Structure 1
Amino acid sequence: MALDKAKGRDLSRWNFSHTRQVENIKFLIVMIAKILAKGAAADIVGYVMREFHDKEQFTPDTWRVIDSDGILGNDYRRIVDSFDIGASLNKRISKPIGHIAVSFDKADLPRLTDEFMVQLAKEYMERMGIRDTQYLIVRHLETGSPHFHIVYNRVNLHGKAIDESNNFDKSRDATKAIKLKYGLTFSPKKKLYEDAIAEMKPKIQAAMYRCKSWDEFRRRLSPAGITVEFYNDRDTGKPQGIRFSDGEFTFNGSKIDRAFSYKRLDKFFAKNAGIKETQPQQTAPISVTAKVKESPVANIVESIIETGCQALGGLFQVGPGYDPEEEAFIHRMKKKPKKKKGRSL
């Protein structure tokens, strides 16, 4: 894990190809590659393919698969099954699916055809050492910032783990080399700050769709590379505010949109759940796995899928928010016991 030694921050999730100082204004070279959290295929493929988003808002014209390799089928379930079968070749890797988002300056949009994005993605993966493995490239179109997502299997076609050592340094060098090769645009820090807000807003809105708890909200944001933290009232110690972070920029919820304040989100989740009040809870990471038969990759992988893999289910389901026995006990304790009438002597 790459760390900023001065501040102890994990830098592996966000990196820039190069920086320079121009008249006291920091400029960053775009393209930008964000190495996001690793996980299960069901989570990450579901995010990039908008499987759990509001279908009325994220219509087919807001995203599209622009390239893939080693994937059988083009629908969500078959793609997840393909990744799970590939991952079964090395069961020692607990989070087998890698996820990288690559974005560009708006000025480069006229050049960024699907074909050119695929070319850039393949060159980036080659420089990162992501080769001989399954991958999926999905372009997102719902924001003004042109970008695509690379989803890849950390288990290669020979059952060996992809070498991800020094990923931050490799990604920095890769983006710098590609930028210089194709003459991509410089972008000022302030603009990136504004673009970060514009990019985070639709992701937060999508995670809110029919969401019923803070735990579910956090799990939905995780594949998007966004974390949630609360800050408490000094007097009461209760949560009074919320911050969102993409690994580089951190914003108060209301800075992104007034609807993202702690109080408004809390009421929104409570309304969806049909309860009076919700509270944030600390939760352990959730992993979703599929039971698949380990087998050689080529024709056997295809035959397993064709005969029908067991689909993963229950994604984003939230466990019960209360203990029924405890609630029944509290209810009984609140009842005032009836006094027994004594017999007269």
Structure 2
Amino acid sequence: MIGKILKGGSFGSKVDYVTREKHDKKIFTSDTWKILGSRGLMGEKRNQIVASFEAQAMQNRRIGNPAGHITLSFAADDKPKLSDEKMLKIALDYIKMMGLDKAQFLIVRHYETDKPHCHIVFNMVGDNGKRMESGRNRYRNKRVCEALTKRYRLALPKQETPDMEKLHGLERAKAEIKIAAAEALRNARNWNTFAALLARKNIHIIPKYRRGTNEMQGISFQSGDYKVKGSDVGEAFKFRNLDSYFSQSNRQAAPKKATVQTKSSQSGASSISDEAMRAVKVTATTAAGMVADIGESVGQFIGGLFQPGPAYDPEEERLAWELSHPKKKKPNRGIKR
């Protein structure tokens, strides 16, 4: 059993997803999902559920994103013994052990795949109006899943290749991106090769900037009409984790770090994000001939894509900070007699 904590989205979008409200009704019929249980909700219709969640969330408007979402996934081998009643019992035990039993929640099971799983949509605002801190505690989630796996003698879900025939829309695009990204990561030691291998399969890297700056904050993967955040593809495909991996690979391959200079804008500020965007675009358009040289300057740059420039020295910055923030001397009060 594995629990995955998901972030982002409103109560409306989460309820629509778990109840297949906005999905193709010819594929996701009423027998492909079922509400197993709930707490604190006015009814089982979509508008009633969403209104219930939103009404309680109004008790604490300081919580910016009160819609919680957790998936519980089980191994295919456990499917014969996971009746609706058994899955509900496990989900309720999970909710209690996570400390979410004093909040509103909705438990929905999906049947369209061979791997049994259910979704828990819950309110980050508890009955007392306070934040449910444990709702996004990944360490607690891991411990709870391990305990329940042992208690119910469950198997750990295997990393299996998903059945594409049973996936549609965003879910299919996400699965295709994950498979392609994992394969590209196994064969790439730098951003240049990684982006080129993905572009061969018409998947492009979309940089995300910190608001109002040119500072890289994250990446998404674009496949056709669908864009998926790196964190949604997998932990390994977050921007920082990928950049750290490629930086380490480059250091191992070349102990002597090459100096990479970036052009400055007219104002004199470094425009590393603009260079990164151009590099990714160039890589994408030349994916069919990846073996060919796509340009020494672009290759050098994207090999250490998004790394701090050579002028950045953490030790030097620390010393500069200490010099600008001198320690205050403690007063010598002497020995009282």
Provide the TM-score with structure 1 as the length reference: 0.51
Is 2:118 the counterpart of 1:148? yes
Q: 1:186 to 1:160 in 2, by over 3 A?
A: closer
Report SS of the residue matched to 2:63: coil
1:95 to partner: Cα distance: 0.8
Q: Is the 8 A contact 1:46 1:52 kept in 2?
A: yes
> Which position in structure 2 is the counterpart of 1:192?
159
Residue of 227, 241, 246 corresponding to 2:203: 241
Q: Does 1:207 align with 2:177?
A: no
What's the CA shift for 1:169?
1.2
Equivalences, count:
199
Alignment of 1:56-71 (within 5 A): 56-71=26-41
Superposition CA RMSD, Å = 3.4
Aligned positions of 1:274-289 closer than 5 A = none
Structure 2 letter corresponding to 1:56: K
Write out aligned runs for 1:1-345 (5 A).
Answer: 31-164=1-134, 167-187=137-157, 191-194=158-161, 197-198=162-163, 202=166, 205-207=168-170, 240-242=202-204, 246-248=233-235
TM superposition shift of 1:182: 1.1
Distance 1:36 1:134 in 2: 17
Larger helix proportion, structure 1 or 2? 2
User: How far has the Cα of 1:165 moved from its partner?
Assistant: 7.7
Shift of the alpha carbon at 1:239?
A: 9.8
Note the C-alpha offset of 1:202: 4.8
User: What secondary structure sits across from 1:161 in the alignment?
Assistant: coil
Any gaps of 5 or more consecutive residues in structure 2? 182-190, 205-220, 222-227, 238-283, 286-337
Are residues 208 and 107 of structure 1, via their aligned partners in 2, closer, same or farther at CA, if it must alter by over 3 Å? closer
Q: Is the 8 A contact 1:232 1:239 kept in 2?
A: no
C-alpha spacing 1:169/1:130, structure 2 compared with 1 (3 Å): same
Distance 1:45 1:117 in 2: 19
Change (3 A) 1:55 1:176: same
The question of whether the paired residues in 2 share the 8 Å contact of 1:72 and 1:82 is answered with: yes
Query: Which has the bigger relative contact order, CA under 8 A and spacing at least 6?
Result: 1
CA deviations on 1:65-103 (whole Å, 9 max, x unpaired) are 010010111111111111110111111111111000001
TM-score (norm 2): 0.52
| Equivalent pair of 1:53/1:207 in contact (CA under 8 Å) | no
Output the amino acid matched with 1:193: E
Counterpart AA for 1:241: I
2:36 counterpart SS class = strand
One-letter code of the match for 2:131?
Answer: A
Aligned to 1:212: none
SS in 1 for 2:14: helix
Contact persistence 2:5–2:136 (CA under 8 A): no
**Matches of 1:32 and 1:208 in 2, distance apart?**
19
1:141/1:238 CA distance change after superposition, 3 Å: closer
How far did residue 38 of structure 1 move? 3.7
CA shift, 1:193, in A, is 3.4
Identity of aligned residues (%): 36
Q: 1:249 to 1:66 in 2, by over 3 A?
A: farther
Which residue identity does 2:160 align to in structure 1? Y
In structure 2, the CA distance between the partners of 1:121 and 1:238, relative to structure 1 (3 Å rule), is closer
State the distance in 2 between where 1:72 and 1:162 align: 21
The alpha carbon displacement at 1:128 in A equals 1.1
Distance 1:124 1:106, change over 3 A: same
